[in-house]
Amino acid sequence: MTEASAVRFRVLCVEDDEALLATYVSTLSDRFDVRGYTDSSSIPMEDFQWADVLLVDYNMPVKTGLDVMEEMYCMGFEKPVVFVTGHVSELLQGLQNFHVVEVLGKPASLNVISGLIETYAAFYQDLHDFQVSLFQADGLTRSDLDKRIKQFNAFKFSKLFNLRNRLNQQKRSAS
């Protein structure tokens, strides 16, 4: 992926601590397009649609991070979620059915957060590029399409496996 062809990954941050939110936004804005909210009840639907990933605190006054994630999923936006929380064990109990990339305890290193999002952004860019290359040809037969879908799924699962390994390596090196 060349720098010129790269699309900036979009991060939606939800954190009730204004100073911490400002830190997330300023740090992540160097590499990503970022929108931030301190009030978990005032996020417009368009921002859920806009975002590629959600970075969210769990314990907030109006809605928990889990509530925000469920709301996003109910709207049909199944985006990856990175939780940053001081309530890790409480949060883990409610996450069985969701696509959560990571749960980080507070205080979390900004380098770890950026690294996670950057790794996920690269994964999605690779997935997108491969998908485009597979499905660009006109006049595909049903058989050709089925083969390409199988290729895409194999590629996706291979990339997911590599993503999980990279995330685990980043976590170990940050410890």
**Domains, in order of start, for the chain:** 10-174 (3.40.50.2300)
pLDDT-derived band at 20, boundaries 50, 70, 90: very high
For the cut 90, the answer to whether the pLDDT of residue 35 exceeds it is yes
Report field, pTM of the whole predicted structure over 0.85: no
Whether the CA torsion 14, 17, 20, 23 is positive or negative: it is positive
Residue 27: the pLDDT is 92
Angle at 98 between CA 121 and CA 71, to 5 degrees: 95
Encoding tokens for residue 35? Answer: 């929108």
Average pLDDT, the chain: 77
CA 28, 3, 128: angle at the middle one, nearest 5? 85
